[in-house]
A = this chain, B = another copy of it.
Amino acid sequence: MVKSNTRAIVLAAGRSTRFKTKKSKLLFNICGRTMVVYPIKVLEELGIPMTVVLGYQAEEIKQDIESSKISQVSYIVQEEQLGTGHAVACTEKTWDRDNILIMNGDIPLLTKELIEKLMHDHQEKEATITFLTSLVIDPTGYGRVIEENGKISIIEEKDCTPEQRFINCINAGIYLIKRDFLEKNISKLQRSTVSGELYLVDLIAMASDENHKVEAISVAYDSVRGVNTLQELWSVEQIKRSEFIKLWMANGVRFELAQSIHIDIDVQIGAGSFIGTGVHLIGTTRIGEECSIGAFSILSNSLVDDYSTVHSHSVIQDSKIGSHVSVGPFARLRDNVTIGNDVEIGNFVEIKNTHIGDHARMKHLTYLGDAKLGKSVNVGAGTITCNYNGVEKHTTIIEDNAFIGSNNTLIAPVTVGAGAYTAGGSIITEDVPADSLAIGRAKQVNKIGYAKKLRDRFEKKSNNDSNNSYSKPACEQNTEKNIDQNIAQEDVEFNFRGAVKTDTDYKIDYKEEGF
């Protein structure tokens, strides 16, 4: 079998100048996997050992491949970038099999089936070189395949004559070559007079001229698309995305405006689930059955169990959500949040590194960080749990059935005991025993008629100031009324505060002011 007799060489040394980015094109992420890892995964699945030729950003690319835990990879660094022929020559000491499969690292749509076909034909036809070609509408950027007088050759684009540039049979850059031939001929490659590079493709003309058997297999362009520009990257990503969407559609997932949705390669979605417009499912995200993920939500590396709903505009990261849970809209969960079953998390709520028990509710304008909430806890609107990140563990603990009133400030480390209540507006600095009520707020005082006096003073002041116009930012100028109200607000608070400042006591305060 050819497979067990083949080593692959993956060319990943180039500078990818047409990307115009510092980062090598090979490191760009396409639906959850970097470009270079796609063909490498195909080789790994086929059990083919491989040598990756590194050059530009060698260390970054090596790390990236290693983080994908691919087996049977060795690396060669091509110090100078003298062309594909030179790159392959650098790997000579790793040629431990009878056939050498050479491919570029920038062909993310390559499939296992295609390589299997290549190997099958190569063996069956006993070819010296078998390589892939494709007919394309726009051949720009590719080497052109030329067959003349029974001889086959490939001309790199930069060496093409204007006429040759019209040829639309392109070299896909994937070759299977007998090691013997490679060993004998690799050193015979000559530098291009145009670019000064050694071209691997010259081996094809060489083999053809020497009457070795050279086979070209024409394949569908999509599967061998190279990626040399960011626009080509976009095309490839479009194809990948639509592949995944169609796969999950066939498995019972409904997509609203499917063409707007982003799904990574390792994502899983259960049957009966709904995925809204613009949703991003990233990394290892797994959505259960009969779930609904609302429009414009972004989930990464998170789990959502069956029958749960993530409403629109939610951002969820590194979190686990139980079943029959409702999250959002406008919710943000991040950094190790675990949520039980039948929980409701509402709008403008941020939760970080927190565990929430079953049946809990926190529906409005809340921040919970580094907290542990028991079952059936209710957290009132506007509550802030002050979280302590650092050397000591300073968790906020809210035990089962506790009820946190609205607009509370919970200063950790603090424990609100089971069944305890906290009054609305409280600042909770000390533990609240079970079944107790905690109150941490000031008492209200009404100063009768005082608002009217302030307003009268304001109006007088406003009249005095009205000649004194000045330029305000456009946002403040929308209506005369708006300006008035802004002025009113300022004056009132100014006066109120002034009063408090000068006097010894609230009540006395106002008396001294003469009201």
Contact = CB atoms under 8 A, between A and B. Distances in A.
Contacts of A409: 382, 406-407, 424-425, 441
Among A256, A365, A384, the most chain B Cβ lie within 10 Å of the Cβ of: A384
A437 B443 contact: no
A420 interface: yes
Interface stretch (A21-29, A70-78, A133-141): A21-29
A405 interface: yes
A441 B427 contact: yes
Contact of A411 (B254, B329, B424, B505): B424
A444 B332 CA distance: 30
Contact of A447 (B391, B436, B444, B485): B436
A26 to B, nearest CB: 14
Interface string A427-446: 11110110111111111111
Given A364-B367, A451-B437, A493 B411 contact: yes
Nearest to A233: B254
Contacts of A391: 462, 465, 468, 470, 487, 490
Contact of A296 (B19, B233, B313, B510): B313
Interface stretch (A59-67, A85-93, A160-168, A496-504): A496-504
A67 to B, nearest CB: 14
Interface in A444-468: 444-452, 454-455, 462, 465, 468
Interface string A239-278: 0000000100111111111101010000000011000011
Contact of A494 (B233, B388, B419, B432): B388
A448 B433 contact: yes
Given A347-B332, A381-B367, A451 B262 contact: no
Among A252, A388, A450, A451, the most chain B Cβ lie within 10 Å of the Cβ of: A451
Contacts of A41: none
A488 B421 CA distance: 11
Contacts of A254: 21, 28, 230, 233
Contacts of A346: 350
A94 interface: no
Interface residues of A, number: 146
Contacts of A482: 344, 361
Interface string A472-515: 11111001011101111111111011001100011100100111
A262 B278 contact: no
Contacts of A425: 409, 411, 427, 440
Contacts of A447: 436-439
B500 A443 contact: yes
A489 B278 contact: no
A225 interface: no
Among A28, A315, A342, the most chain B Cβ lie within 10 Å of the Cβ of: A315
A57 interface: no
Given A381-B386, A421-B451, A429-B500, 6 more contacts: A22-B271, A229-B249, A296-B296, A388-B490, A391-B490, A437-B450
